[in-house]
Amino acid sequence: MSYLDAAPRNPDGTRRRIEIVDQTLRDGPQSWWGMRLRKDMGLPMAAELDRTGFHTIDLVGSSIFEVLVRHCKEDPWEQLISLSRAMPDTTVRAGTRSNGIVTFGLTADSVMDLWVQRLCAHGIGSFWIYDGLFNTDKIGRLVKTVQAEGAQALPCILYADSPYHTDEYYAARTRELVALGADGIELEDAAGLLTPERTRTLVAAIKQAAGDLPVEIHFHSNNALAPLNYLEGLLAGADRVHTASRPLAAGVSLPSTENTVTNLRYAGFDVDLDESRFAPVEEHLLRVAEYEDLPVAQPAEYSLFQYRHQLPGGMAGTFKAQLRDRGMEERFEEVLDEMSRVREELGYPVMATPFSQLVGTQAVLNVVTGSRYSVVPDEVLIYAHGFYGEPVAPIDENVLDAIMSSPKARSYENWEPPQPSLSELRQRFGNVSDDELILRLLVPENDIDVMRATPQRHRDFAPTSRQVRFIRELVETSVGAYLHIEADDFSLTLEGDH
């Protein structure tokens, strides 16, 4: 079909207006830079993003907190406060699992509630809430917590490719989420598995089940089809799309804002964004990538291999690197085959956190030991006992028998996920603030101590000549007490006690 001017008009003859959710500060750097976006990288473009006219700007998740502390040596609360304050005219969003913010396990309800409350206290006004097994009790409880803080709650449907994840299945789950009192529905294809044909039928089914609620689509470009799928999804009734500035878009990330807006207008949609803000953000990100030696987005090519492993975002590359570190790189294909088999045996869990890690870890153990399910991680035991929720398909009976045969598995028969109160947790950490309590639950105390002992980086990414940039880099990276730079007509000497 031709997409040129294909969009249906409103009853009054005007163009349908499509809203954009920006992912330049969250999923873009998560996909391309391993979440390593410091405050000094984000702040210079925050005002431009705020004035662009986005419906929402996605900003934070619990994994980002851990990365900022461990790898960037930066206080994530300080970054959140600074960035949210710099964007007063746009709703700022956070993402969370329905039942976990700490590692891949289960988090107590008291901590989940405090996590939401503290994020709202620091400027978050919208949440996307995901649960690969659609544990509606947990999702519904968190929806109420979010709304009690005056924020909007949008449960997220995670797309998976399996015989059980049909349009009818997703429509039924959508109706359940709507009944929870949600403010909208988000459909996410983290692995870039959707085809235009499936997008057309799936979005239509979800939109019909959602009724009057807005439907957002968040598709990654791992397989190069996401820009086309956005057009199909919007023609099928979706209301919003998620994009990122071009240097952090495409490939393992989302379609670019620049290209998406152009496509939507050619297709006959109306998009009310200030395009003059696009270039300053793009230019800043390109300088950050150059100064920090970070990758710039590269488009992907269509690959059937993606449907074999169904790994989200950059997890395939991460997985290969981990195998290389263990001297097992040549067994990558074998591990992927085993992952496909494990996923089927465990009832086709969607390949997103925590299940992508759960399936991947079990597959590696099966290959390394040479005896399938002889070693089973605690998370797989918790999953098999149903503590994450009900799998979409039954677990293979022989595999379930193998998993349940160990003494460790039997210890989970009468186990209940711990539900400590905040006062009990404070006994463990002392009389700390709510923000500090969350931080210590997310990150080991030693990492927090190292972060606080490390001087904060405040790099200036303003455009400069190559010579000035070189001098600035020398100054910023110097670790001694004396620095002398001399050129033909220039001399600089710096002395200090550090």
Pairing type for strands 152-158 and 19-22 reads unpaired
Instruction: Please tell me the predicted confidence (pLDDT) of residue 357.
Output: 86
Q: Does residue 484 register a pLDDT over 90?
A: no
Write the CA distances from 244 to 170, 229, 251, 380, integer angstroms: 26, 16, 12, 34
Q: Give residue 450's pLDDT.
A: 95
Residue 260 has a pLDDT of: 98
Q: Which of the four pLDDT bands, split at 50, 70 and 90, describes residue 310?
A: confident
What pLDDT is attached to residue 329? 83
* Contact (Cβ atoms closer than 8 angstroms) between residue 48 and residue 279: no
Q: What is the C-alpha to C-alpha distance for residues 161 and 33, in angstroms, rounded to an integer? A: 27
Q: What percent of the chain has pLDDT over 90?
A: 70
Average pLDDT over the chain reads 91
Q: What is the mean pLDDT of residues 141-156?
A: 98
Structure-model confidence comparison of residues 477 and 415, the more confident one: 415
Residue (of 324, 327, 379) closest to 357 by Cα position:
379
**Residue 97 bridge partners (DSSP):** 130
List pLDDT tens digits, range 52-105.
999 999 999 888 999 999 999 999 999 999 999 999 999 999 999 998 886 677
pLDDT top residue among 482 and 170: 170
pLDDT(473) > 80? no
Range name among 217-226, 334-343, 402-411, 470-479 with the lowest pLDDT average: 470-479
What confidence category does residue 317 fall into, taking pLDDT thresholds of 50, 70 and 90?
A: low
Indicate if the alpha-carbon torsion angle 48, 54, 55, 58 is positive or negative. negative
Rounded to an integer, the average pLDDT of 27-43 is 94
Do the Cβ atoms of 357 and 330 come closer than 8 Å? no
Tens digit of pLDDT for each residue in 222-231? 999 999 999 9
Nearest CA-CA partner of 3 in 251, 300, 192, 231: 231
pLDDT at 318 over 70: no
Distance separating alpha carbons of residues 202 and 207, to the nearest angstrom:
9
Nearest residue to 202 (alpha-carbon basis) of 171, 243, 174, 223: 171
What sign does the dihedral 326-330-333-334 (CA atoms) show? negative
For 410, other C-beta atoms within 10 Å of its C-beta total 11
pLDDT at 497: 55
Looking at residue 233, its pLDDT comes to 98
For position 464, what pLDDT does the model report? 65
How does residue 410 score in pLDDT terms, banded at 50, 70 and 90?
Answer: confident
Mean pLDDT of all residues in 349-359? 87
Q: With contact defined as beta carbons under 8 Å apart, do 142 and 107 qualify?
A: no
Please compute the mean of the pLDDT values over residues 232-254 and round it to a whole number: 97
Residue in the block written with tokens 């550090």? 498
Per-residue pLDDT averaged across 386-411, rounded?
91
**pLDDT, tens only, 429-471:** 888 999 999 999 999 999 999 999 999 888 888 886 555 566 6
CA 365, distance to chain mean position in Å, is 26
Mean pLDDT of 304-316: 74
Q: Say if residue 336's pLDDT is above 90.
A: no
Residues 6+ away with beta carbon under 8 Å from 319: 311, 332, 335, 360
CA–CA–CA angle 76, 78, 84 (5° rounding): 100
Cβ(256)–Cβ(249) under 8 Å?
yes
